[in-house]
Amino acid sequence: AEDAVRVELCREAMRQTIERQSAHLTRLLDELLDVNRIARGHFTVEKESIELQEVLDRAVETSRPLIDAQAHRLRMTIPGKPIPVLGDRMRLTQAFVNLLNNAAKYTPAGGDISLSAVVRSTDVEIRVRDTGKGIDELGVAAYLGAPLVDSRGTSLGAIAAIDRSPRAWTATDLDTLRE
């Protein structure tokens, strides 16, 4: 009976690993397809009314295994009231997953990561902060590498940018970077 329990636990662990790896491969394929769509000028954003808390919860759920594997502490500071936004649920979730995963990857084990949202008039400011070393603004520009605008001069949407304070990453529009 004990062997049967061990076998079942092993099967469950393998099933979870396969699920995680499948989800990861799906995200990688989606990102490659997005790059192709951007290059061809066929990138679309499906805007709908969404609840920001749901997007952030989904992003944290997706990033949680990486955060936990590094024994990081994650603190979320989100308003207690609903924050409806008009946006693309999948792309926003993907952007926040990327920011949280980068924070988890580049923060020394046992570090702190915070995710906060603040409503400012008609805007929402979302920050991912961590206790990692970070890179300066020139490093971010080199890291991003590719042009931030398409051939028509249109912003390619939300990008990761560094605020003036150390390691304060925010999802922002290109115009903010032109300061």
* pLDDT per residue as tens digits for the range 132-178: 887 665 566 565 554 444 344 433 333 333 232 333 333 443 333 33
pTM score: 0.61
The more confident residue out of 159 and 67 is 67
Give whichever of 16-20, 81-85, 120-124, 149-153 has the largest mean pLDDT: 81-85
* Residue 63 pLDDT greater than 50, yes or no: yes
Work out the mean pLDDT of the chain and round it to a whole number: 76
Q: In this predicted structure, what is the pLDDT of residue 55? A: 92
* Residue 19 pLDDT greater than 80, yes or no: yes
| Distance of alpha carbon 78 from alpha carbon 118, whole angstroms | 7
* pLDDT per residue as tens digits for the range 86-105: 888 888 888 899 899 989 99
| Distance of alpha carbon 100 from alpha carbon 130, whole angstroms | 9
3-state secondary structure the chain: CHHHHHHHHHHHHHHHHHHHHHHHHHHHHHHHHHHHHHHHCCCCCCCEEEEHHHHHHHHHHHHHHHHHHCCCEEEEECCCCCCEEEECHHHHHHHHHHHHHHHHHHCCCCCEEEEEEEEECCEEEEEEEECCCCCCHHHHHHHHCCCCECCCCCECCCEEEECCCCCEEEEECHHHHCC
Q: Distances from the Cα of 28 to the Cαs of 23, 31, 79, 94, in angstroms? A: 9, 5, 32, 11
Contact 107, 70 (CB under 8 A): yes
- In the chain, the percentage of residues whose pLDDT exceeds 90 is 32
The more confident residue out of 42 and 92 is 92
Lowest mean pLDDT among 61-65, 83-87, 145-149: 145-149
The more confident residue out of 61 and 150 is 61
Q: In this predicted structure, what is the pLDDT of residue 38? A: 74
